[in-house]
A and B are shown apart, each in its own frame.
Chain A
Amino acid sequence: MNKELFAYLVIACVKVLLVFGTIQFMIISMIWLERKIMAHMQVRLGPMRVGPHGLLQPIADGIKLLFKEDIIPEKASKLLFVLAPAMALIPALITFAVIPFGDKVKILGYNVDLVITDINIGFLYVFAVSSLGIYGVVMAGWASNNKYSLLGGIRSSAQMISYELTLGLSLIGVVMLTESLSLVDVVNAQGKLWNIVLQPLGFFIYFTSAIAEVNRCPFDLPEAESELVAGYHTEYSSMKFAMFFMAEYANMITVSAIAVTFFLGGWQGPFLPPVVWFMLKLSGCLFFFIWIRSTFPRLRYDQLMHLGWKFLLPLSLLNILITGLIMVIKG
């Protein structure tokens, strides 16, 4: 094997491991941070017992889940029941393959792009992969052979299908401005001005649909406890439940990373190194998710569908129209 190819492979593997490790670490710290931040917003202390300020709580939770009995219901469809958590988690993780998290750097004489791979259909790749995330939920709901699971699964997939449309359309404006589907080009085009200034409506629509897409409060109807026990993961226990939990947080990190890439200038920023800027913006978005969760009450199901189809969808089409008009007028 020649040296060039070998270096390329090593760099690619290191990048994949690095990104994967970082996401895992972020998921763990998010669980702690969410409990802490929400507690303080509600004038409580949150976890305090395990480690200083409950810092070791997520590790304790992880160990607990690992040692729990893994229950598979008698009448469940075994293969799908086992497959579903993985199907939910994997799409959330592989979206990161196209998200640039830093500028080009030189390491040991090799030019390294701080993005796992830059493909010319990056935008479409993101949506192709995220649209597959629904299957985990649908399969979990059906395979459990439990009516609450099935209802939760159906609700969740209906919600995800509805909001995926607006999610995609809200980003079209940015793609029109950039004239490229590659996420690296999108970030590079925001050197002077972030897209949030040019596309405020697009950002608003994107973030609202993103919260609905990852089933977070106030759109967390699939797991509305008072109606559906726990939705599609009612029958799940032990590490399989943990995987759904991880999938939820991984999805949250993914949609935040896309928001940063498309609207908040990606890794661009003065003074600090690019990677730090990227992480800062990402953390800001994630904080926003937690903030919203502890602020808004849950919507009713019909309100959710009305918001998606009758308000956000026309609004996102309007956004595309206005963007196009301005581009034509300005030439």
Chain B
Amino acid sequence: MEAYLFYIVAAITVVTGVYLIFEKNPVFGALYLIQTMVSIAVLYILLEAQFVAAVQIIVYAGAIMVLFLFVIMLLNLDIKEEAKNALPFQRIPAILMGIALFAVICIVIKAKLLQGKHDQYTTAYVNTVGNTKLIGNLLFTEYLLPFEITSILLFAAAIGAIMLAKRKL
């Protein structure tokens, strides 16, 4: 049952991802991206990571993509104009860098470099304590420093955005 669900959702994720790249109309592209985000959230739920799934939808599908769509709709980009502006000499470096990125991701996954907590943190244990509680605890004890640094980074980005948008306050 779970495996079938995974195959269906994974297929939707990949197909919408491909559509996103080949779609000419930016508004539809953004909508495909939203579908991809939501499908990934479903995949998180299948992995029993409910907290991450909810945050994925709230932050990406609910907040960031709305702003994306917003800007695209306001600009009302003309499809033909877009095609003209494309830079032909970008293509070859783009393909090469794409392959390089894919290779790096493969190496990282293969070498198991990015592994979080495991040992005692089995699925059964996580479910008894509660997903959100455990993440909160770890975030404010063991991972406090990275957490705070990330928040400062985001804060700086927010200030930068305001400075760019409103030169004179």
Residues of chain A within 8 A (CB-CB) of B63 are 131, 161
Known: A120-B130, A142-B27. A128 touches B54 (CB 8 A): yes
A63 at the interface (CB under 8 A from B): no
Q: Which residues of A contact B58 (CB under 8 A)?
A: 124, 127-128, 131
**Interface digits, A161-194 against B, CB 8 Å rule (1 contact, 0 not)?**
1001000000000000000010000000000000
Question: Are A134 and B50 also in contact (CB < 8 A) when A124-B55, A150-B73, A154-B74 are?
Answer: no
Measured CB to CB, the closest approach of chain A to B72, in angstroms, equals 9
Chain A, 98-126, contact with B by CB distance < 8 Å: what is the 0/1 string?
Answer: 00000000000000000000011100110
Take A121-B132, A127-B58 as given contacts and tell me if A154 and B50 are in contact as well, using a CB distance cutoff of 8 Å.
no
Are B131 and A120 neighbours in the complex by a CB distance under 8 Å? yes
Q: Whole-angstrom distance from the CB of B118 to the nearest CB of chain A?
A: 22
Q: How far is the CA of A127 from the CA of B55 in the complex (A)?
A: 9
On whether the beta carbons of A119 and B70 are closer than 8 Å, the reply is no
Interface flag for A138 (CB, 8 Å): yes
Taking the complex as formed, is B146 at the interface, i.e. its CB lies under 8 A from any CB of chain A?
A: no
Residues of A close to B51: CB separation below 8 A: 121, 124
Chain A, residue nearest B38 (CB): A132
Q: Hey, which chain B residues are within 8 Å of A20, CB to CB?
A: none
> Across the interface, which residues of B come within 8 angstroms of A124, CB to CB?
51, 54-55, 58, 132
Query: Could you say which residues of chain A place their CB within 8 Å of the CB of B74?
Result: 154
The residue from A128, A129, A135, A150 contacting B66, defined by CB atoms under 8 A apart? A135
B43: interface (CB < 8 Å): no
A131-B61, A134-B66, A157-B70 known; A125+B132 contact, CB < 8 A = no
- Count residues of chain B with CB under 8 A from any CB of chain A: 22
Q: Are A154 and B61 in contact (CB under 8 A)?
A: no
Task: Give the distance in Å from the alpha carbon of A120 to the alpha carbon of B27 in the complex.
Answer: 35
User: Closest CB-CB distance, B77 to chain A, in whole Å?
Assistant: 12
Interchain nearest-CB distance for B61 vs A (Å) = 6
Q: Could you tell me the distance between the alpha carbons of A131 and B57 in the complex, rounded to whole angstroms?
A: 8
Q: Which of A128, A134, A150, A158 is the most central at the interface, judged by chain B CB atoms within 10 Å of its CB?
A: A128
Q: Which residues of A contact B131 (CB under 8 A)?
A: 120-121
Q: Is chain A's interface secondary structure helix, strand, loop, or mixed overall?
A: helix
In the bound complex, residues from chain A placing their C-beta under 8 Å from that of B40 are none
* In the complex, chain B residues whose CB is within 8 Å of the CB of A181: 132
B41: nearest residue on chain A (CB-CB)?
A: A128
- Which residue of chain A lies nearest to B54 when distances are taken between CB atoms in the complex? A124
The distance from the CB of A77 to the nearest CB of chain B, in whole angstroms, is: 8
Q: How large is the interface on A (under 10, 10 to 19, 20 to 34, 35 or more residues)?
A: 20 to 34
A residues near B46, Cβ cutoff 8 Å: none
B62 engages A132 (CB within 8 Å)? yes
Kindly provide the distance from the CB of A309 to the nearest chain B CB, expressed in whole angstroms. 12
**A138 and B130 within 8 A (CB):** no
A137 to chain B, nearest CB (A): 10
Contact with A along B2-29 (1 / 0, CB 8 A): 0000000000000000000000000100
Q: Are A121 and B70 in contact (CB under 8 A)?
A: no
> A80–B34 Cα gap in the complex (Å)?
14
**In the complex, chain A residues whose CB is within 8 Å of the CB of B132:** 120-121, 124, 181
Name the residue in B41, B58, B63, B74 with the highest tally of chain A Cβ atoms < 10 Å from its Cβ.
B58
Bound CA span A46–B148, Å: 58
* Beta-carbon contact of B73 and A154 below 8 Å: yes
Are B62 and A131 interface neighbours, CB within 8 A? yes
Q: List CB contacts (< 8 Å) of B26-48 with chain A.
A: 27, 31, 34, 41
Task: Say whether A121 contacts B69, CB under 8 Å.
Answer: no
Contact with B along A128-154 (1 / 0, CB 8 A): 110110110011011000000010011
B99-135 near A? 1/0 per residue, CB < 8 Å: 0000000000000000000000000000000111000
B62 nearest in chain A by CB position: A131
Contacts of A119 in B (CB 8 A): 50
A-B contacts, 12 of them at CB < 8 A, read A77-B27, A80-B31, A119-B50, A120-B131, A127-B54, A128-B41, A128-B57, A131-B58, A134-B62, A138-B70, A142-B69, A161-B66
Extra A-B contacts (7), CB below 8 Å, given A132-B61, A161-B66: A127-B54, A131-B61, A134-B66, A138-B66, A142-B27, A154-B70, A161-B67
A: residues with CB less than 8 A from B are 77, 80, 119-121, 124-125, 127-129, 131-132, 134-135, 138-139, 141-142, 150, 153-154, 157-158, 161, 164, 181
Which 7 A-B pairs have CB atoms at the shortest separation, nearest pair first? A131-B62, A124-B54, A128-B57, A142-B73, A121-B50, A128-B54, A128-B58
